[in-house]
């Protein structure tokens, strides 16, 4: 590959690279950038010449980045972020965010509980901005932030890495979710015996042991888990018509109960509460779009007692 000089490179190509990487499709990248697909294809050819690599390979599911593209992604992302920060200095009160997107990492219990509220609030604070919800959790969130696959994250911790900042929004607790038809008339709680006797559905990334099992073991008790799932969103389809119980974060249980025929009840076990935190990359001059979303999350979620 010939030595390249920055004066010979059209820096608009970096935006094309970003769009191709995030959309995995030339046609979707073209729609995002407001240009023709042929223009995106031409830009990709120029990018390949600049970096001496194919960068994106066509697969059955769209364009997949090469190893070199994955190496370039955080560097190019940082360069574009710096450019956007410099423009934000000229318009610190910008009100039109059309064409911009902010990626928020969160597990689906937070998406279920807070997603709609955040969408509505962001549209007020940053009109035209698109939110992208991406699944994450405390064990992988730091890497996702540092490699720029997400811009912000809401999790129960996981922000201890260098170059990350965090803010505690509130505390979380646990509730039991059951089918109302499985309760006695006017029943508003499960005692420990009934709780243990019921079939249990475990929501867990690991799929075998949960916090409930640890609490029961301390009491010399066990439960029968009939199925494990990684998604809270499956519960409205797995619980109805059964006597099963799912012990899940209260914010998700309350929201699911509100829009389904399920009921959220107090958990008969004493389970530890946990911090719900917002995390982000520490930068001297934050991107204005990311800052608006961050302010919205702090404003909305800090006022909600969980």
CB 163 within 8 A of CB 242: no
pLDDT band at 85 (very low <50, low <70, confident <90, very high): low
| pLDDT at 167 (0 to 100) | 94
Q: What's the confidence (pLDDT) of residue 305?
A: 40
Answer yes or no: do 162 and 179 share one domain.
no
93, part of any domain: no
Q: Which helix H or strand E contains 303, and what residues bound it?
A: none
**CATH number, position 137:** 3.40.190.10
Whole-angstrom distance, CA of residue 168 vs CA of residue 111: 17
For residue 64, give the CATH number of its domain.
1.10.10.10
Give the per-residue pLDDT at 306: 43
- Distance CA(138)–CA(159), nearest Å, equals 8
Residue that is written with structure tokens 């423009």 in the block? 87
Q: Among all chains, which residue has been given the structure tokens 């073209």?
A: 30
User: Is the pLDDT score of 188 beyond 50?
Assistant: yes
Q: Are residues 154 and 291 in the same domain?
A: yes
Residues 200 and 84 occupy one common structural domain: no
202 plus 57 within the same structural domain: no
> Do residues 161 and 220 both lie within one domain?
no
C-alpha distances out from residue 36 to 28, 40, 244, 266, Å: 10, 7, 53, 55
* Residue 35 CB partners (closer than 8 Å, separation 6+): none
Residue 174 has pLDDT above 80, yes or no: yes
Q: Is 153 inside any structural domain?
A: yes
pLDDT at 89 over 70: no
The rounded Cα 29 to chain-centroid distance in angstroms is 22
With respect to residue 62, please indicate whether it lies within any of the assigned structural domains.
yes
Tell me whether residue 94 is in a domain.
no
Question: Is residue 92 scored above 60 in pLDDT?
Answer: no
Give the pLDDT score at 95.
64
220: phi then psi, degrees, rounded to nearest 5: 75, 25
The SS3 assignment for 188 reads: coil
- Residues 146 and 294 placed together within one structural domain of the fold: yes
Q: Are strands 224-229 and 199-203 parallel, antiparallel or unpaired?
A: parallel
On whether both 264 and 281 belong to a single domain, the answer is no
147 found inside a domain: yes
Same domain for 25 and 69, yes or no, is: yes
Burial 178-197 (b: 16+ CB within 10 A, else e): bbeebbeeeeeebeeebbbe
Lowest model confidence (mean pLDDT) among 18-32, 177-191, 192-206? 18-32
Regarding whether 160 and 217 lie in a shared domain, the answer is no
225 lies in some domain: yes
The reply to whether 306 falls in a domain is no
Same domain, 166 and 139: yes
Question: In whole angstroms, what is the distance from residue 274 CA to residue 272 CA?
Answer: 6
Print the SS3 string covering 99-159.
Answer: CCEEEEEECHHHHHHHHHHHHHHHHHHCCCCEEEEEECCCCCHHHHHHCCCCCEEEECCCC
**What's the pTM value of the predicted model, to 2 decimals?**
0.73
Integer Cα distance of 39 and 180 in angstroms: 56
Question: Could you list the residue range(s) of the whole structural domain that residue 66 is in?
Answer: 6-88
Mean pLDDT of the chain: 89
- How many domains does the structure of the chain reveal? 3
Residue 5 pLDDT > 80: no
Predicted confidence (pLDDT) per residue in 156-171, tens digit: 999 998 889 999 999 9
Q: Per residue in 220-260, pLDDT tens?
A: 999 999 999 989 999 999 999 999 999 999 999 999 999 99
pLDDT band (50, 70, 90) for residue 195: very high
Residue 70 tokens read as 């994955």
Same domain assignment for residues 193 and 106 = no
- Higher per-residue pLDDT: 92 or 58: 58
The b/e string for 16-27 (b: 16+ C-beta within 10 A; e otherwise) is: bbbbbbbbebbe
- Same domain for 111 and 152, yes or no, is yes
- Note whether residue 158 is domain-resident: yes
Per-residue pLDDT band for 9 (boundaries 50, 70, 90) equals confident
**Residue that finishes a domain, picked among 88, 112, 131:** 88
């Amino acid at each position: 590959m010939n030595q390249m000089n920055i004066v010979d490179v059209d820096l608009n190509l970096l935006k094309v690279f970003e769009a191709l990487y995030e959309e995995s499709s030339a046609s979707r990248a073209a729609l995002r950038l407001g240009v023709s697909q042929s223009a995106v294809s031409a830009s990709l050819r120029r990018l390949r010449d600049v970096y001496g690599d194919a960068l994106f390979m066509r697969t059955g599911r769209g364009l997949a980045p090469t190893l070199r593209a994955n190496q370039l992604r955080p560097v190019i992302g940082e360069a574009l972020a710096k450019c956007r920060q410099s423009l934000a200095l000229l318009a610190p009160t910008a009100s039109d965010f059309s064409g911009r997107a902010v990626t928020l990492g969160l597990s689906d219990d937070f998406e279920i509980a807070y997603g709609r509220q955040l969408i509505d609030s962001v549209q007020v604070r940053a009109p035209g901005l698109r939110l992208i919800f991406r699944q994450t959790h405390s064990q992988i969130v730091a890497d996702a932030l540092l490699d720029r696959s997400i811009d912000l994250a809401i999790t129960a911790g996981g922000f201890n890495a260098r170059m990350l900042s965090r803010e505690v929004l509130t505390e979380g607790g646990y509730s039991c979710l059951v089918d109302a038809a499985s309760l006695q008339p006017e029943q508003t709680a499960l005692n420990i015996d009934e709780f243990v006797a019921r079939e249990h559905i475990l929501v867990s990334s690991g799929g075998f042991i949960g916090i409930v099992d640890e609490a029961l073991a301390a009491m010399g008790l066990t439960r029968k888990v009939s199925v494990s799932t990684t998604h809270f969103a499956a519960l409205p389809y797995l619980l109805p018509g059964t006597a099963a119980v799912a012990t899940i974060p209260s914010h998700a249980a309350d929201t699911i109960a509100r829009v389904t025929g399920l009921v959220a009840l107090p958990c008969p076990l004493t389970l530890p509460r946990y911090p719900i935190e917002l995390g982000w990359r520490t930068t001297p001059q934050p991107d204005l779009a990311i800052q608006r979303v961050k302010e919205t999350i702090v404003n909305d979620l800090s006022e909600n007692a969980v």
